[in-house]
């Protein structure tokens, strides 16, 4: 649940990431420059802080040597630790060291301790608690091992938390040695280091932003021509063949624009040439169809006369007269279909829609094809509603579509029944024609609507069709704003579905009848 909700929230960002090359380039530039600048800035800040600390350590180490020498000169006058004047000398020495240090490191702390002589109290000026600054480990190193030690400690001194550089050194005397501790605040160094870090941070952020702006500008210079090319290509694909890109300069992008324009010009010439060839082909088909009408009429008159007198001829001549009449019928149908196809191709086909009851149309088609069905041994079953099915259609075109569908079903039914079903809902009306013949192979449900296509060219035709019936039918369906679809499977027959909107001009969304028949045999699974 959480993951799905997270994907929903991030979907706009992921979509923008996939679609925008400029966004990806700028984002990757910002990430890379941020890592580089942050690493470089951290290195600079760390080195600067180390340089400041080393310089301070050198200064304090030098100052510490002088303080140890001065304390030695003052404390070595006393031959023993029980000298009653020794505490006063320690106090005076610490005062002198503090007074001499005010001009160098303001706020520093000086302490002299005597770990081996419990009778000598520690003297610290200013009088503050130094337990957090002078650690037991440091005392052990200085007092017991007699070595110089240093450390950096942060402690609350005088009500303020401050970082100190603490030096400790033994001070030799005639009776042994005492310990001198010198604590210098690093406030100035910390302030300088913070200023350096702030400066590096601000400079790094400004540099990253500048790099992002530069990357955006550079990417825009490259992406903008690509986007222009994409929009121009979309306009070209939409049919606006005169669209071209603007060519500026002589760089690579200008060469791309020039090459794109040359390609568009070549495509325009080829498309115009193909359109002209198609127009000439359509005109040729139309002209030939019209021109053949006149000789066909003359031949038809002569053939009708011969056919009417065939009883008086020899059997061979009478049979020739019958064949001539049949072929003339087929030839006349072919011319009629070619004229209709040419009207569709030229865009001259018009829809003469009116409110029509489709039930009588289906019944009339079945009645007119009853003779063909009887000769083929096919039983045509009608499954029609009891009430009228009213739709705004062109009845002539709908009847022609159904005549083609039912005639093809009878031809391929192989003496099995053909079922014609009519159904309607509020938005659409559908007619399915189901046969149980040879069926269609995979992929043929799309090829079946091509002009002059046959599933089996060697198959004997009983109806004398022209091969244009389904092509004209699909154009009639499209003219209504409807669908004409096919389904078939080898050995299971086929089903064609005509779907039309109830109201002319409405957009179809669904069909009242399924394309795949409900009585299809269930597949056997292993």
pLDDT digits (tens, 9 = 90+) for 212-227: 888 888 877 777 777 7
Evaluate whether 384 touches 362 at the Cβ level (below 8 Å).
yes
SS3 sequence of 416-471:
CCEEEEEEECCCEEEEEEEECCCCCCCCHHHHCCCCCCCCCCCCCCCCCCCCCHHH
How many other C-beta atoms can be found within 10 angstroms of the C-beta atom of residue 470? 21
* Apex 334 CA angle, 332 and 336, nearest 5: 70
Helix or strand (DSSP H, E) at 221: helix 187-237
Q: Cα separations (Å) of 306 from 118, 315, 320, 429? A: 153, 13, 10, 47
Distance between CA 16 and CA 30 in Å, rounded? Answer: 17
Evaluate whether 45 touches 193 at the Cβ level (below 8 Å).
yes
Evaluate whether 154 touches 147 at the Cβ level (below 8 Å).
no
Distance between CA 401 and CA 466 in Å, rounded? Answer: 14
Six-digit token pair at 6?
């997270």
276-327, pLDDT tens digit by residue? 777 776 676 666 666 666 777 777 787 777 777 777 778 887 788 778 777 7
Evaluate whether 497 touches 483 at the Cβ level (below 8 Å).
yes
Delineate the domains of the chain, giving CATH numbers in brackets. 1-238 (3.30.450.20), 244-349 (1.10.287.130), 352-501 (3.30.565.10)
Segment 179-202 shows an average pLDDT of 86
* Distance from the Cα of residue 81 to its chain's centroid: 87
Distance between CA 322 and CA 307 in Å, rounded? Answer: 7
The pLDDT of residue 463 is above 90:
no
Sheet order of strands, 176-185 included: 123-125, 109-113, 176-185, 160-173, 149-157
Query: What's the pLDDT at 355?
Result: 93
The pLDDT of residue 418 is above 60:
yes
The pLDDT of residue 152 is above 60:
yes
464-516, pLDDT tens digit by residue? 455 677 888 888 888 889 999 999 888 888 999 999 999 988 888 889 999 98
The pLDDT of residue 179 is above 70:
yes
Distance between CA 245 and CA 254 in Å, rounded? Answer: 9
Closest alpha carbon to 257 in 267, 266, 270, 244: 244
Q: Nearest 5°: phi and psi at 156?
A: -90, 110
């Amino acid at each position: 649940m959480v993951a799905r909700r997270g994907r929903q929230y991030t979907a706009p960002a992921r979509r923008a990431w996939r679609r925008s090359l400029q966004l990806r380039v700028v984002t990757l530039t910002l990430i890379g420059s941020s890592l580089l600048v942050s690493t470089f800035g951290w290195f600079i800040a760390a080195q600067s802080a180390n340089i400041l600390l080393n310089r301070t350590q050198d200064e304090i180490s030098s100052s510490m040597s002088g303080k140890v020498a001065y304390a030695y000169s003052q404390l070595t006058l006393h031959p023993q630790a029980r000298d009653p004047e020794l505490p006063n000398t320690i106090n005076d020495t610490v005062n002198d060291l503090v007074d001499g240090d005010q001009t160098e490191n303001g706020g520093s702390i000086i302490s002299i301790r005597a770990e081996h002589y419990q009778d000598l109290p520690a003297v610290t000026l200013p009088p503050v608690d130094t337990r957090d600054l002078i650690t037991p480990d440091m005392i052990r190193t200085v007092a017991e091992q007699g070595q110089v030690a240093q450390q950096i400690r942060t402690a609350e001194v005088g009500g303020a938390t401050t970082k100190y550089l603490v030096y400790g050194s033994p001070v030799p005397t005639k009776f042994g040695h005492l310990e001198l501790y010198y604590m210098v605040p690093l406030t100035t160094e910390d302030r300088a280091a913070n200023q350096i870090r702030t400066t590096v941070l601000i400079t790094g952020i400004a540099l990253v932003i500048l790099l992002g702006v530069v990357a955006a500008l550079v990417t825009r210079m490259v992406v903008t021509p690509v986007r222009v090319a994409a929009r121009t290509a979309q306009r070209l694909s939409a049919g606006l063949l005169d669209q071209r890109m603007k060519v500026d300069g002589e760089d690579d992008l200008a060469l791309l624009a020039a090459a794109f324009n040359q390609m568009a010009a070549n495509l325009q010439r080829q498309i115009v040439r193909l359109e002209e060839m198609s127009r000439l082909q359509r005109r040729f088909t139309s002209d030939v169809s019209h021109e053949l009408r006149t000789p066909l009429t003359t031949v038809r008159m002569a053939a009708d006369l011969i056919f009417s007198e065939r009883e008086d001829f020899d059997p061979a001549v009478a049979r020739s007269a019958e064949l001539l009449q049949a072929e003339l019928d087929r030839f006349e149908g072919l011319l009629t279909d070619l004229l209709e196809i040419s009207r569709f191709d030229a865009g001259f086909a018009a829809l003469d829609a009116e409110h029509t009851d489709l039930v009588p149309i289906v019944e009339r088609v079945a009645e007119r094809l009853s003779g063909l069905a009887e000769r083929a041994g096919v039983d045509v079953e009608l499954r029609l509603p009891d009430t009228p099915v009213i739709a705004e259609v062109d009845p002539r075109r709908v009847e022609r579509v159904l005549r083609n569908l039912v005639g093809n079903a009878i031809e391929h039914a192989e003496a099995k029944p053909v079922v014609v079903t009519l159904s309607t809902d509020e938005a659409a009306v559908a007619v399915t024609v189901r046969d149980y013949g040879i069926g269609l192979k995979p992929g043929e449900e799309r090829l079946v609507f091509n002009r002059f296509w046959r599933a089996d060219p060697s198959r004997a035709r009983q109806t004398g069709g022209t091969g244009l019936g389904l092509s004209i039918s699909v154009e009639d369906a499209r003219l209504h704003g409807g669908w004409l679809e096919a389904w078939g499977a080898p050995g299971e027959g086929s089903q064609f579905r005509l779907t039309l909107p109830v109201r002319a001009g409405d957009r179809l969304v669904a069909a009242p009848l399924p394309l795949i028949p409900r009585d299809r045999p269930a597949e056997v699974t292993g």
